[in-house]
Amino acid sequence: MTVKTVSGAGAAAEAADRQAVHVATSRQAELAMRLLDLVVAAAMVVLLLPLLLVVALLIKLDSRGPVIFWQRRLGRDLAPFRVAKFRTMRDGAAADVHRAHVEAMIREDAKQGEDAPPRPMQKLHEDPRVTAVGSFLRRTSLDELPQLWNVLRGEMSLVGPRPPIGYEVENYPARAFRRFAVRPGMTGLWQVSGRCLTTFDEMVELDITYIERRSFWLNLKILLLTVPTVIHGDGAE
């Protein structure tokens, strides 16, 4: 699939916009952050293995289809990769409803005036495609755990902007392309700052703020803040 927003005459300007937030980090800092990813991700796989097996069993008992759902996402510098998630929808469910929902949120958020109320990035309510077990997995963020595999492979980091689907990026304003300056993450500043309670523009600004301040200690702080956020379900819908 061709991403319209990064083709043609706008590609150079958008590439420059992304480059503008690349923060020079030392090789030692990059290695430290990568080591944090590997150590924490590997430890989580070992410690959570019984839970992962239970979740896999519940998915198989609840509905037909594979346990793991693979989806094409865009990562650092718009490089495509396949992200892993526990399947939360009925096998073969079409993405048309979600695509229309996301495109509307991005377009409408761009139109918001000073007097207009903000539009939070809410998920689809009462989505008929979502299974009973899938609804629980989404509320608790357990569906994201297979992405530890993506972290170990180096396609993702534990901390960073969430990797979007191609059709979401087709509607991105130029500033939002700054999100692709680093590897995408399982959690991030946006997730611990409101998540679905924030607007699209606020999400972009939080991701850019993270990229500009990115460091080993900030990553560690966000990981620690993620624990109570997930437990309390803050911003998860």
Report helix, strand or coil for 109.
helix
Q: What are phi and psi of 116, to 5 degrees?
A: -85, 145
Asked if the model's pLDDT at residue 216 lies above 70, the reply is: yes
Expressed in percent and rounded to 5, the helix, strand and coil fractions of the chain are: 60, 10, 30
Q: What are phi and psi of 187, to 5 degrees?
A: -135, 175
Segment 164-170 shows an average pLDDT of 90
Looking at every residue in the chain, the average pLDDT score rounds to 83
pLDDT in tens, 177-205: 999 999 999 999 998 987 677 888 899 99
Predicted confidence band of residue 1 (pLDDT cuts 50, 70, 90): very low
Q: Which amino acid is at 128?
A: P
What are the sequence ranges of the domains in the chain?
Answer: 28-232
- The C-alpha atoms of residue 4 and residue 166 are separated, in whole angstroms, by 9
First to last CA, the chain: 29
Report helix, strand or coil for 71.
strand
- The C-alpha atoms of residue 73 and residue 168 are separated, in whole angstroms, by 10
Burial of 168 (0-12, 13-18, 19+ CB in 10 A): buried
Q: How many residues does this entry show for the chain?
A: 237
151, containing H or E segment: helix 148-153
Predicted confidence band of residue 11 (pLDDT cuts 50, 70, 90): very low
